[in-house]
Structure 1
């Protein structure tokens, strides 16, 4: 005895739209083509939906009750399997699920075929990542055949109607199931969905329109890119017959700098200064990515204090650059000469 309302997790008074939404949600969870799917549960869901989505069957089910619906042939000679006489188009249920199940239910609303994406890694120096750069890579991948421009036909040859699909580009198949006749539509493998085939195939790509070849691609890497970021180049992935090419993804790896660190658009380094310069002030050369910059140390500066060099950081929005932050580290001598100790003692007497 099956309770179709319970199976679809809906109330008895639920509308057809609510029933449909419930089925789509549960079918997406239990579909056997999906990882962790449950074929038996999916069939049960499909059976429940085939009844509750049909006004006549639903009325009969509500009238005869759960025990009556539990048997496919029912009692009193009534044939519950009436669905076998009509087509149940699964495309109507999964029209918004895209490629969730690998295209198994593709129909007239199916998305255009798409080539595979390609992923590569690029190593940048710290300076290249800050200021941006260009890189040229050579990739061996499926490209549109340059000889036939992707038609698959020999130059000057005509294109003829595909005899397998009669020019439709798709093959419609109907098969019987426990719910009745299921109709699916798939791309014709003879013409790859084009509906036409070359009378004389291109000798370079054997009529496929796609050829594996090497291609040089220039990659523009923007200023300020960070380690681990991904650049996407639309349409620079694998080409596919009668479809759109995939994308190229470039993952960025940035080398560490020996003395400079980064935080957002700011660059930072540590500057070691003498105790005397901390007390009396002085000038030091600071290494930046633009070259050395003279930094004035104010007298009485404290250990750990930060000094700012403006516009020497990372380019940000509107080409405005961040700042270069210098953290002061005061060197405390481990050993002192007798003369130095004497001077320090005098400073101590002065309260310093």
Structure 2
């Protein structure tokens, strides 16, 4: 069946002209709303959360967004016109473009896999054996992305994946164990679940771990970065703040006269770097300036300017 076009802008509820900052804010707002840990209807929320994550995975990346915009330029005015190479490289056993196969449970839609996942949803590798037409040959290996949350990477988990092979109506489901400490790019092997061999051994299915976008944290290698938004007075006067880390909340002291973009390091609260080691957690200070002032607030700022030896409307 044909792959259905996804309107990622509509998913995030933003205009096609939205800035990266607007996209980030929209994603965070929706992701917090539909995060399975807080939603009452967890099944519906999980599906919605994956849609939001997929949309931001594309629109939040400048290169992917450009490719997506080129693809979708005319989608409202007629049938979708796939670009050159559409469907090329897709795994034949798990459904290339229009072949009736499908692969689900990894966290990304067929549309995403076809265009933004490095050459097709389930990507077919090289056969494991060679020889003439009459000789047995091992089946090809298959690769597909597997979307994993930060929490699953830290603590381990089990996930179900499903696929329908080309030309078959039955759906095969497997439970995949995500090991504690798994890293992005790591491959999880399902032996014998790739392409069928020609009178020989079947190939393997390799699931490539991709970390899910998080509403609160930005991933930087093995480190996590949390943007702490504070009003200007809090940065100037100093304060205490509660910081949500994957291991629970911690109290952070914000010293007085803290500058914008200052980073505070919390050691060992990042992503796994080994079986027993982890990266760090950084809190980045985002100082919020007022968008407008009441007459009373303006009077206070002018008083502060005079006390600082400055005259309103000029700089030293």
TM range (shorter): 0.3 to 0.5
Structure with higher RCO (Cα < 8 A, 6+ apart):
1
Q: Which has the larger radius of gyration?
A: 1
